[in-house]
Amino acid sequence: MPAAPALPRKDLMLIRVGYELAFDVPAPTPIMFLLFMHPSRYGTLRQGDKLIVEPAVKVHEFHDVFGNRCGWIHAPAGKVRFTNDAIVRDSGLPDPVHSAARQHPVEELPPEVLQFLLASRYCEVDRMQEIAWDLFAKAPMGWAKVQAVCDWCHANVEFGYQYARSTKTAYDVYVERKGVCRDFMHLAITFLRCMNIPARYATGYLGDIGVPPVDCPMDFSAWFEVYLEGQWWTFDARHNKPRIGRVLMARGRDAVDCALTTSFGPTTLEKFVVWTDEVKEEMALGRTG
């Protein structure tokens, strides 16, 4: 199938991104999080990206093995609130398309890429090998095979927030044919790893820029990246077309590595608000939060 037509260019746009997350914490609990912008976007930061935690507690920061900027706190009992607000510059270009991008033989791959061929928590490569080869063995190698996988997932899985389940794996998505954005990505990633194409999970902001707005609350979004022709390329099995304005927060093998918050004890999410909108220059000159 030919690549989807590119969206019209919006040159050097500004995008405001941020969130407010509030938790009820019944007892002192460590919470780890990936709530910062990914370091690869620092050069595009216009202002902001300052995490605020209430009540004020010490934030311990580190970078994980995938290069994500991470943090953790020892949250006191009671209400804990995370907020962030930033403005970033963006090219305004849709995701690049290179329909002739070559698939590398496994023996040609860089050592650091090989881990993205292996099974992971939500991507059961060993269990789905036969299914993947039955579906996609005849698809041309390289970019066309990745697009064939996206086409299949987009056409055969129904999106719905009511289908979210924290334990749902790629095989579950294949059987149930229902899921949220991360489920589409896990299924596509698993199929591609089965076909010896390195694939990794990504999460961040993706607003309704250059497309008709969707009548539902904004959320963080998932997509995935594949290694072809010596570099990583962005794909999205849920939307299945190039999009404008992705702002990366984290990458990893699957959603385990990119969990935006992980609580080491019982917590209850009480508020979840995300924003990602194109803004004008004059707004960028004002205070963001």
In contact, 143 and 227? CB cutoff 8 Å: no
Q: How far apart are CA 277 and CA 289, in angstroms?
A: 15
Q: Which residue has the higher pLDDT, 10 or 127?
A: 127
CA 159 – CA 166 distance, rounded (Å): 15
Boundaries of CATH 3.10.620.30 in the chain? 106-252
What confidence tens digit (pLDDT) does each residue in 157-174 have? 999 999 999 999 999 999
pTM confidence score: 0.92
**Average pLDDT over the chain, rounded to whole?**
93
What CATH fold (topology level) applies to the domain 13-91+260-284? Immunoglobulin-like (2.60.40)
% of the chain at pLDDT higher than 90? 89
Position 105 confidence tier, pLDDT thresholds 50, 70, 90: very high
Contact yes or no for 186/170 (Cβ under 8 A) = yes
Split at pLDDT 50, 70, 90, the class of 141 is very high
Q: How sure is the predictor about 286, in pLDDT bands with cuts at 50, 70 and 90? A: low
| Short-list 256, 252, 232, 236, CA closest to 244 | 236
Residue 3's pLDDT band (cuts 50, 70, 90):
very low
Nearest to 261 by CA among 3, 52, 107, 36: 36
Q: What is the mean pLDDT of residues 167-184?
A: 98
Radius of gyration from C-alpha coordinates of the chain? 19
Residue 229 CA to residue 158 CA, distance in Å, equals 31
Mind listing the pLDDT tens digit for each residue in 195-218? 999 999 999 999 999 998 887 888
73 has pLDDT over 50: yes
pLDDT given at position 120: 98
Residue intervals in the chain for CATH 2.60.40.2250: 13-91+260-284
**Lowest pLDDT segment from 25-34, 135-144, 216-225, 276-285:** 276-285
What tens digit of pLDDT does each residue of 53-69 get?
A: 999 999 999 999 999 99
How far is residue 202's CA from residue 182's CA, in Å, rounded to a whole number? Answer: 9
The answer to whether the CB of 220 falls within 8 A of the CB of 138 is: no
Q: Is the pLDDT of residue 289 over 90?
A: no
Q: Answer whether CATH 3.10.620.30 is correct for domain 106-252.
A: yes
State what percent of residues in the chain have pLDDT above 70. 93
Q: What is the pLDDT of residues 233-243, one digit of tens each?
A: 999 999 999 99
Local confidence band at 281 (pLDDT 50, 70, 90 cut-offs): confident
Residue 49 — pLDDT band, cuts 50, 70, 90?
A: confident
pLDDT for position 287: 47
- Per-residue model confidence (pLDDT) at position 216: 81
Q: How many CB atoms lie within 10 A of CB 62?
A: 10
**pLDDT band, residue 285 (cuts 50/70/90):** low
Burial letters 252-281, b for 16+ CB under 10 A, else e: bbbbebbbbeebeeebeeeeeebebbbeee
Q: How far apart are CA 120 and CA 167, in angstroms?
A: 13
Residue 10 has pLDDT above 80, yes or no: no
Burial 148-180 (b: 16+ CB within 10 A, else e): bbbebbbeebeeeeebeeeebbbbbbbeeebbb
